[in-house]
Amino acid sequence: MAISVLICDDSGFARKQMARALPDNWDVEVSFACNGEEAIQAISEGKGEVVFLDLTMPVMDGIQTLTYIREHDLNAMVIVVSGDIQPEAQTQVSQLGALDFIQKPISKEKSAEVLKRFGLL
């Protein structure tokens, strides 16, 4: 069965870049969200078994989204994809339960490597 993948970023260009960076042969159902609120809605509808999450977003940012997912024990494996590459941001997201942190701009090689590492590919 196809894995549901959610791409959450406020930038349309970034969402597109992320979608293009997904492995070609990966059997997935892709959905999109523009902020954390939309992401949580999608995850609760089962559309985000794997979530690629941006940090800097309006309405509800990535840190708030991770916190919510953790507090409500939502079923989502979150990979943060962010331009904020300060070590503190990376520590914070891993403490909040994110699987990994990928530095933007994303590439096909990088996404495949991370997905393989967590047995998702």
Partner 1 sequence: MNKHIVSITEDQRDCYQEIANVAMGQAAALLAKLLEVKVILPIPVVNLIEVNELRMALSGIENSDKVSGVCQGFIGNKISGEALLIFNDASLSDIAKLLKYSNELDTSLDLELLMDVANILIGACLRGIGSQLDVNFSQGHPVVLGQHVNLSELISTNNYRWSKTLAIEINYKIEGYDINCDLLLLFAEDAIEVLNNKVNYLLED
Q: Which residues bind partner 1 (CB under 8 A)?
A: 10-14, 16-17, 56-58, 82-88, 104-105
Minimum CB separation from partner 1 for residue 93, in Å?
14
E strand or H helix that includes residue 107? none
Minimum CB separation from partner 1 for residue 1, in Å?
27
Of the candidates 51, 31, 61, 71, the one whose C-alpha atom is nearest the C-alpha of residue 111 is: 51
- Pick the closer one to partner 1 by CB: 43 or 102: 102
- Pick the closer one to partner 1 by CB: 49 or 61: 61
- Pick the closer one to partner 1 by CB: 17 or 64: 17
Long-range contacts of 97-101 (CB under 8 A, 24+ apart): 97/66, 97/69, 97/70, 98/53, 98/66
